[in-house]
Structure 1
Amino acid sequence: MNKNNVLGDDYAFSPVPPTARSNLFSMILIRIGMMTALSQFMLGATLGHTMTFSQALLATFLGSLILEFISLGLGVAGAREGLSTSLLARWCGFGRLGSVLIGVVIAVSLVGWFGVQNAVFAEGLNYVFEGQLGFGWSAVISGMTITGLVAFGFRALSWTAKIAVPLFFVVVGWISLILLQRHNITDLITSMPTGTPLTLGAAATMVAGGYVVASLTTADISRYCQNERHVFWMVTASIIVGEFIVNSIAILIAHALKTDDVVSIMTQTAGWIGLLSVILSAVKINDVNLYSSSLAVANTVEGFTGRKWRHTWLTLALGTIGTTLSIMGILDKFTHFLILLGTIFPPIAGVMLVDYYVLRTSRSLLDAARTGQTLPTSTPLIGWPAICACVAGSAVGWNAKFGIASLNSILVACIVYGVIAKIRASSPHTHTKGLK
């Protein structure tokens, strides 16, 4: 038995060996579970309420291209090296301390999303008991139940997804049929939106921002894929289902009901069935949120102190924090970060992709380590060019008034990082610093 499994670390500090890889069906289910939460319905409803059907689909297409590019690039790297995103970043331009910063950003955003999704779950649970539990106790019960699931590691994600994903689609499909059965689909497709118009660039950034954290952490999941072909089908299938199919249904429902508050209407219309969709959504997305955030924090702690904390204890601690955020009312506050996430995270992915596939700065180290199923023998301390490129990309993406913010940010980061790397490579005083 592998030592990582005994300790419950779930390969947080080592490559996932070939013997621990999962089959394609399980990987696709887990990834689709990440991409089909009720928050995706909220996003689709927002697009449908503010744009025509064709405009909303175009925004979905453009945002999805960014997600596909990031997910596939980092996913293949994760499967090839067997490393999580926060660990892989050490040898993709950021160095040990730079990857620590990435781990902190990933962990904060994912724990926040855990709180948002858990709040939705808690409201539904409280509704079932007719308010007798109260929102606070409902949030505690739902949050700690999911935390317990994730504490068992990656295998728990697999069997949870096999149960939750099919049931979620059955429930949501049935509710959608109820809401759309009295409307003509052609009329809904050609109808005009009733909300305040949204620009194509802002809409595409919302699409990318909604799941850009999941795209950046693709390696956390893809490191369990058996090969690169499995990564492609896992990523592509999840985007087709999660973005195009779910978004299309939500857009049509928004046009039919003339509102963007589709999720509340779905749960209220379908009663217990609607509540079941909320519960399934929260379970299958929050287990992945908590899983990736625990990996990110594990890398952060190890990068700063050299100590390797157990995955199980990190999961329990982060789940408790996320549950607390739910009780504090994060549902009404954290969702405003959607556009912000769409500008901060793409530059990180862009730098990692340029370093891994174009500059290949540490590929010789990674190749040697892969042969022995270990981590590279030396680690750069900190990648200032990578950090500077991310800051520049985020600044342009946030402040530029043209185009798609997510695309602007990732392109600027890639260009800045490539230029700095070329200048450093041509300098006779450039040398690599590493920690043994």
Structure 2
Amino acid sequence: MSKFDDYPLSPVPANRRLSLLSVAIVHMGMLTALDQFMLGAVLGNSMTLAEAFTAITLASLLFGVLTFALGYAGMREGLPGSLLARWCGFGRHGSVLIGMLVAISLLGWFGIQNAVFARSLSYALNGKLSFAESAALSGTVLTLLVTFGFKALRFTARIAVPLFIALVGWIFWHAFHGQSGQNIPPVIASQAITVSAAMTMVIGGAILASLMTPDLTRFSRNGKDVFAITLLTIMAGEYGVNGVAILIARELQTSDIIAIITQTTSSLGLLAVVFSTLRINDLNLYSSTLGIANAIEGVTGYKPRYQMITLLLGMLGTLCSVFGILDRFVDFLELLGVIFPPILGVMIVDYYVLKTERQTLALSRTSDALPATSQLIGWPALIASVAGAATGLLVERGVPVLNSMLVACVIYLLTAPLLKRSSSLQEKVTAE
């Protein structure tokens, strides 16, 4: 796994594929993190127990289908998600836009995770460091560590995933059997959250994991491993961390996770926050770097250095946390929940239904090199994605995440074959 950074812009060779556990432990880490705990606390403090778990279950089914489908494509072709989009409908310049969108969104996640860490650090030091000072310090240190790449990610994941799960279990025990909860002031939810809105938030919290899945499953050996990885991540993240957080928030009547962690676990909680933030932000920056690398290579043909991009993105992510992105957490999730599902839907429809570039990918697979050709820009894919996202944002009826994805898939299914047929007719006329 130490060679993980060697294939940002090329397929992973068959002899570099890894075991189920090696990939699963890192993939599980994407949803066994503080952001899932934060989401569960918000849902538990704003919904009934039945409504919250209904939203999680329905969202997990959709997340599972999308994640497995895209993860299997990544395993089959050995390509990361932002690069796979180039041959899944979006074309060379279209995939550049996808890479940029992924990078910007992951910077948001980096800022949110860093803000949680900074608040915990400021609390632990009794305010000796302000939030802004703590955010700047932690963001800088995390960015420097991330420049070591996936080797550091794998090491921290092996420690952080079990430690964070143990932390959640400890908080759960104290919430229902200890006395710490009596010291936590209740935070009353400002408004109730509907099941459809909660589903969009859950998908928003996990959808980037779907798009990032090929970044990891390109190292998987077969489809069975991809299915197992998807299932383990859902069980650990959605029902383990998210589900338990719902129960804890309802018991303690608060959604303030910093108060929950520090009051129930003290220094152990801070240690878990440190490792959890380090691990998930390593992955955030890694996949963000892949997206930027694909964008730069797609436009200029130049292949930039991983470390340089990581340092620049880490600085920008740190600024996001200093400027208060954590305060917009719910809005951020709702936005992601309608922007990215259309993109995933288009990629899956193109790869499994229309198969526009499957033959091109198959011919290049044996040479462990990228296909020599690709369309310049996939207008049907871009139009369908924008239409789907607009539907999710503007149409209030139904479930926004489903609305956005279904509209995008239908539009792409109708327009892509028409454009291809029109291009073929033009080529025929020109030839005559």
TM-score (norm 2): 0.92
Bigger shift: 233-242 or 18-27? 18-27
> Matches of 1:333 and 1:46 in 2, distance apart?
13
Residue 280 (structure 2) pairs with residue 285 (structure 1): yes
Aligned ranges 1:157-176 → 2 under 5 Å: 157-176=153-172
> Matches of 1:431 and 1:261 in 2, distance apart?
61
Is the 8 Å Cα contact of residues 12 and 219 (structure 2) preserved in structure 1? yes
Say which of 397, 403, 411 aligns to 1:408.
403
Say which of 4, 20, 40 aligns to 2:36.
40
Say which of 359, 371, 395 aligns to 1:376.
371
Deviation at 1:431, TM superposition (A): 5.7
Q: Tell me the amino acid that sits aligned with residue 413 of structure 1.
A: A
Deviation at 1:104, TM superposition (A): 0.9
Is the 8 Å Cα contact of residues 33 and 241 (structure 2) preserved in structure 1? no
> Matches of 1:263 and 1:71 in 2, distance apart?
30
Aligned to 1:351: 346
Aligned to 2:47: 51
Residue 89 (structure 2) pairs with residue 74 (structure 1): no
Q: After superposition, give the CA deviation of every residue in 1:311-360 in whole Å (9 maximum; x if it has no partner).
A: 12111111111112222222223542211110000000001001111111
CA distance 1:255–1:133, shift in 2 (3 Å)? closer
Aligned to 1:318: 313
Deviation at 1:426, TM superposition (A): 4.0
Say which of 402, 416, 422 aligns to 2:417.
422
Deviation at 1:17, TM superposition (A): 1.5
Is the 8 Å Cα contact of residues 10 and 154 (structure 1) preserved in structure 2? no
> Matches of 1:121 and 1:275 in 2, distance apart?
8
Aligned to 1:89: 85
Number of residues paired by the alignment? 419
Aligned to 1:269: 264
Aligned to 1:129: 125
> Matches of 1:131 and 1:50 in 2, distance apart?
30
The alignment partner of 1:372 has SS state of coil
Is the 8 Å Cα contact of residues 267 and 278 (structure 1) preserved in structure 2? no
Q: Tell me the amino acid that sits aligned with residue 43 of structure 2.
A: L
Residue 204 (structure 2) pairs with residue 212 (structure 1): no
Is the 8 Å Cα contact of residues 56 and 238 (structure 2) preserved in structure 1? yes
> Matches of 1:352 and 1:263 in 2, distance apart?
38
Residue 7 (structure 2) pairs with residue 11 (structure 1): yes
Deviation at 1:376, TM superposition (A): 0.2
Q: Tell me the amino acid that sits aligned with residue 371 of structure 1.
A: T
Say which of 131, 143, 146 aligns to 1:147.
143
Say which of 224, 230, 237 aligns to 1:229.
224
Deviation at 1:270, TM superposition (A): 2.0
Aligned to 2:328: 333
Q: After superposition, give the CA deviation of every residue in 1:226-260 in whole Å (9 maximum; x if it has no partner).
A: 22211111111101110012222111112211222
The alignment partner of 2:168 has SS state of helix
Aligned to 2:103: 107
Residue 92 (structure 2) pairs with residue 60 (structure 1): no
Residue 393 (structure 2) pairs with residue 398 (structure 1): yes
Is the 8 Å Cα contact of residues 93 and 355 (structure 1) preserved in structure 2? yes
Say which of 287, 292, 297 aligns to 1:297.
292
Deviation at 1:70, TM superposition (A): 1.4
Is the 8 Å Cα contact of residues 72 and 235 (structure 1) preserved in structure 2? yes
Is the 8 Å Cα contact of residues 172 and 277 (structure 1) preserved in structure 2? no
Is the 8 Å Cα contact of residues 250 and 262 (structure 1) preserved in structure 2? no
Q: Tell me the amino acid that sits aligned with residue 317 of structure 1.
A: L
Q: After superposition, give the CA deviation of every residue in 1:167-206 in whole Å (9 maximum; x if it has no partner).
A: 11122211220111169xxxxxxxxx97633211111111
> Matches of 2:257 and 2:64 in 1, distance apart?
26
Deviation at 1:263, TM superposition (A): 4.0
Is the 8 Å Cα contact of residues 194 and 258 (structure 1) preserved in structure 2? no
> Matches of 1:81 and 1:197 in 2, distance apart?
44
Q: Tell me the amino acid that sits aligned with residue 315 of structure 1.
A: T
Q: After superposition, give the CA deviation of every residue in 1:145-166 in whole Å (9 maximum; x if it has no partner).
A: 3223332222322121001111
> Matches of 2:145 and 2:86 in 1, distance apart?
29
Q: Tell me the amino acid that sits aligned with residue 241 of structure 2.
A: V
> Matches of 1:131 and 1:10 in 2, distance apart?
42
Deviation at 1:399, TM superposition (A): 1.5
> Matches of 1:264 and 1:19 in 2, distance apart?
47
RMSD: 2.1
Is the 8 Å Cα contact of residues 78 and 84 (structure 1) preserved in structure 2? yes
Aligned to 2:183: none
Aligned to 1:187: none
Is the 8 Å Cα contact of residues 136 and 327 (structure 1) preserved in structure 2? yes
CA distance 1:387–1:178, shift in 2 (3 Å)? same
Deviation at 1:208, TM superposition (A): 0.6
Deviation at 1:35, TM superposition (A): 0.2
The alignment partner of 1:291 has SS state of helix
TM-score (norm 1): 0.91
